[in-house]
Homo-oligomer: A and B are copies of this chain.
């Protein structure tokens, strides 16, 4: 009997692929075991339990997203940075819907703090430094962008824009222009 060569890494990565193919809520130890042609119990040496598996996939997704965002941001500022950053989110969600869903998993505070989450917040702030906002408006703007990105991408993933025109992509482009213009010309309190 040759071995399948499981490691936590490989298990989590396979879980992420499964999430993209079948949906994050269909990621189960049983299904993964089937894919590795291994008995279910064998996975439990690499992952504490089903919940832990999900958390690890979420952390992977957050890292991947942050890495892509960081790469996209390099050498850009202002509107360019905003558009590039936004594209990373939308593209990632479209390419990897299961991972994107995983990234939305609620983490306990400790895990969240050690995740790539804070990097995301920092990058968002870095973008806004290209616009002349002062606190607390910069924080409000971070939240506006975060909410819009996440909301748009998840509504699109849920098919919310499917049966109306124009296509989602057109609204996305136009709205980024609108937001850029809003940030440059931020209304006073």
Contacts from A to B (Cβ < 8 Å): 25, 104, 106, 109, 112, 121, 136-137, 139-140, 143-144, 146-152, 154-155, 158-166, 168, 170-171, 174-175, 177-178, 181-182, 186-187, 189
Do residues B143 and A150 form an inter-chain contact, with CB atoms below 8 A? no
6 more CB-based (< 8 A) A-B contacts, given A121-B164, A139-B166, A140-B174? A104-B154, A143-B175, A146-B155, A147-B148, A149-B151, A182-B187
Q: How many angstroms from the CA of A104 to the CA of B175 in the assembled complex?
A: 23
Closest 6 CB pairs of A and B: A151-B151, A147-B151, A147-B152, A181-B187, A150-B151, A143-B171
With contact pairs A136-B166, A159-B106, A187-B177 given, residues A154 and B150 touching in the complex (Cβ less than 8 Å) = yes
Contact: A143 with B152, CB < 8 Å?
yes
**Contact residues in B for A147 (Cβ distance below 8 Å):** 147-148, 151-152, 155
Give CA–CA (A182, B155) in the complex, Å. 22
**B189 and A158 within 8 A (CB):** no
Complex: how many Å from CA A150 to CA B150?
A: 8
- CA gap between A182 and B140 in the complex, in Å: 15
Contact A155 B164 (CB under 8 A): no
Contact among B140, B162, B170 for A178, CB-based, below 8 A: B140
Closest to A143 in B: B171
CA distance A174 to B152 in the complex (A): 20
